[in-house]
């Protein structure tokens, strides 16, 4: 194991771990103040359960042996055979833990869609069950499995993570139903500063997500880092400009949403595209996602915090863009060339097939999992719980405590009358 590679991938793994709390605050700020702790806990629940699941069977089923078409085996279950003394010096163990961070954040992405109405007990089962039933097989297909073998490309998880979690979010909300009053009763973000902070943490962590996926401290990692830098900026700029022209203002939420859409979109191509491609991909994702988030009120599905509009649509845009911009000559690799680099439409079709297969499998299995949960423990909180907010009934905690009496009382007058009473 090369010490430079090991150092970079170790740091990257920690960066990717940091993305889950970042995502929690990105979503939590957008949520209502009475649901924010439920949102944070849905995300942190992934940090509690998925690492354990990952070392018990997840990693082995997802990656070992690498050549399997559909699903791995149990060779590395319970970390069997993963040592630091062998030929690879522990690099296998390092890759295992690096990928484990991706396994943590993928189900967490779905939490934004189900915000404000899902029973925590149902989420507690859903997150690990979904990881095992949906994330692990799709991850296998894309990395080493049949989709990867056909030549489709997904550098850091556009298809395996964002399209996969995005379409699963749609299946979830279709089973779960709308929040009370959707779409007429609006729920604006309760804390935009938290959203902006979460966005910053996500962008920072995403350098590990994308550049770390080179699994080496090399030129590919450098280009993936540059791409991550540029696509996020271009997409944030594009979204902000669309809102300025269309709605009249540069909004914080528009900038933040664009940054995340750009990060999602550059993920599949981070180690396959170069030059100005990340800027074009970022602009494309920023504009398309800015309009895609409006679909939910027209189509009537309540994707509370726009997981479908940002992660599914952004992932799809980015993944198909690889079919246009893939540039193996730049990276000195053997993969297929994109349409703009003389490769014809072959790669584009493979990208479409890989995403199509992921969409069908993820949507169907996620839907069935949610229906099974609905029939057993139930997926939806009671109406009164939804009304008072999930924090107190579901977690016995409150995010914000008033130091004094409620603001609506009139202290001076009330105090005087009470004393004299």
Partner 1 sequence: MIKLVTAIIKPHQLEPVREALVGAGIQGMTVTEVRGFGRQSGHRETYRGAEYTIDFVPKLRIDVVVDLFDAEAVADAIVAAARTGQIGDGKLWITDVDHAVRIRTGERGTDALT
39 lies in the site for partner 1, by CB under 8 A:
no
Residue 340: exposed, middle, or buried by beta-carbon count in 10 A (0-12, 13-18, 19+)? middle
Exposed e or buried b per residue across 284-311, where buried means at least 16 C-beta atoms within 10 angstroms of its C-beta: bbbbbbbebbeebeeeebbbbbbbbbbb
Number of helices (H), then strands (E), in the chain = 20, 0
What does the per-residue mask of binding to partner 1 show for 377-416, with x meaning CB under 8 A? ------------------------------xxxxxxx--x
Beta carbon nearer to partner 1, 144 or 282: 282
The C-alpha torsion from 121 through 60 and 19 to 126, rounded to 10°, is -20
Beta carbon nearer to partner 1, 256 or 281: 256
Structure tokens at 162: 């964002």
Instruction: Count CB neighbours of 397 within 10 A.
Output: 11
Interface pick for partner 1 out of 86, 294, 376, 382 (rule CB under 8 A): 294
For the bound state, the minimum distance from the C-beta of residue 123 to partner 1, rounded and expressed in Å, comes to 24
Structure tokens at 83: 């040592």
Beta carbon nearer to partner 1, 242 or 349: 242
Per DSSP, 119 falls in state -
Interface pick for partner 1 out of 303, 306, 327, 350 (rule CB under 8 A): 306
Structure tokens at 138: 């799709």
Instruction: Count CB neighbours of 3 within 10 A.
Output: 9
> Considering only residues 89-108, where is the footprint of partner 1 by CB under 8 A?
none
Beta carbon nearer to partner 1, 80 or 246: 246
Beta carbon nearer to partner 1, 99 or 253: 253
Beta carbon nearer to partner 1, 149 or 409: 409
The C-alpha torsion from 9 through 10 and 16 to 20, rounded to 10°, is 160
For the bound state, the minimum distance from the C-beta of residue 291 to partner 1, rounded and expressed in Å, comes to 8
Interacting stretch for partner 1, rule CB under 8 A, among 33-41, 115-123, 184-192, 379-387?
A: 184-192
The C-alpha torsion from 163 through 168 and 171 to 175, rounded to 10°, is -160
Beta carbon nearer to partner 1, 149 or 297: 297
Instruction: Quickly tell me which residue has 């359960």 as its tokens.
Output: 49
Beta carbon nearer to partner 1, 396 or 413: 413
Phi-psi region of 279 (alpha: psi -120 to 50; beta: other; left: phi over 0): alpha
Phi-psi region of 22 (alpha: psi -120 to 50; beta: other; left: phi over 0): alpha
> Considering only residues 117-156, where is the footprint of partner 1 by CB under 8 A?
none
Beta carbon nearer to partner 1, 252 or 398: 252
Structure tokens at 240: 């902000």
For the bound state, the minimum distance from the C-beta of residue 407 to partner 1, rounded and expressed in Å, comes to 5
The residue count for binding partner 1 (CB under 8 A) is: 28
184 lies in the site for partner 1, by CB under 8 A:
no
For the bound state, the minimum distance from the C-beta of residue 188 to partner 1, rounded and expressed in Å, comes to 5
What does the per-residue mask of binding to partner 1 show for 230-269, with x meaning CB under 8 A? -------------x--xxxx-x-xx--x------------
Cα(274)–Cα(252) distance, integer angstroms: 29
- Cα–Cα distances in Å, from 85 out to 64, 78, 97, 146? 19, 18, 17, 32
299 lies in the site for partner 1, by CB under 8 A:
no
For the bound state, the minimum distance from the C-beta of residue 252 to partner 1, rounded and expressed in Å, comes to 9
For the bound state, the minimum distance from the C-beta of residue 308 to partner 1, rounded and expressed in Å, comes to 13
Residues at the site binding partner 1, with contacts judged by CB under 8 A: 186, 188-189, 243, 246-249, 251, 253-254, 257, 290, 293-294, 297, 306, 407-413, 416-417, 419-420
């Amino acid at each position: 194991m090369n010490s430079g590679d090991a150092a970079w991938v170790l740091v990257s793994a920690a960066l990717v771990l940091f993305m889950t709390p970042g995502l929690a605050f990105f979503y939590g700020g957008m949520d209502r103040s009475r649901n924010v702790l439920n949102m944070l806990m849905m995300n942190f629940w992934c940090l509690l359960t998925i690492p354990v699941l990952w070392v018990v069977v997840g990693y082995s089923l997802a990656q070992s042996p690498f050549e399997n078409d559909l699903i791995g085996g149990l060779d590395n279950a319970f970390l069997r055979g993963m040592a630091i003394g062998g030929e690879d010096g522990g690099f296998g163990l390092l890759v295992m833990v690096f990928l484990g961070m991706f396994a943590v954040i993928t189900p967490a992405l779905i939490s934004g869609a189900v915000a404000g109405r899902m029973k925590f007990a149902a989420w507690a089962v859903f997150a690990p069950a979904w990881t095992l039933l949906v994330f692990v097989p799709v991850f296998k297909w894309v990395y080493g499995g049949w989709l990867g073998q056909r030549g489709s490309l997904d550098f850091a998880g556009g298809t395996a993570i964002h399209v996969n979690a995005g379409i699963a979010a749609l299946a979830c909300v279709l089973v779960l139903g709308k929040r009370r009053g959707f779409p007429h009763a609006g729920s604006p973000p309760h804390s935009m500063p938290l959203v902006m902070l979460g966005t910053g943490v996500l962008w920072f962590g995403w350098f590990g997500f994308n550049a770390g996926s080179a699994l080496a401290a090399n030129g590919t990692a450098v280009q993936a880092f540059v791409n991550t830098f540029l696509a996020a900026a271009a997409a944030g700029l594009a979204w902000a400009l669309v809102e300025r022209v269309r709605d009249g203002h540069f909004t914080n939420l528009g900038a933040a949403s664009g940054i995340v859409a750009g990060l999602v979109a550059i993920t599949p191509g981070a180690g396959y595209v170069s030059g100005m491609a990340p800027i074009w991909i970022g602009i494309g994702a920023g504009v398309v996602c800015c309009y895609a988030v409006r679909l939910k009120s027209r189509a009537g599905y309540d994707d509370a915090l726009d997981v479908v509009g940002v992660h599914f649509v952004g992932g799809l845009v980015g993944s198909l863009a690889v079919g246009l911009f893939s540039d193996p000559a730049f990276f000195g690799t053997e993969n297929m060339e994109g349409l703009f680099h003389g490769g014809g439409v072959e790669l584009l079709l493979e990208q479409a097939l890989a995403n199509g297969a992921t969409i069908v499998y993820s949507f169907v299995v996620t839907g069935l999992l949610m229906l099974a949960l609905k029939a057993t423990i139930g997926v939806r909180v009671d109406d009164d719980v939804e009304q008072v907010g999930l924090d107190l009934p579901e977690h016995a905690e409150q995010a914000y405590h008033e130091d004094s009496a409620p603001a609506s009382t009139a202290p001076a007058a009330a105090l005087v009358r009470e004393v004299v009473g």
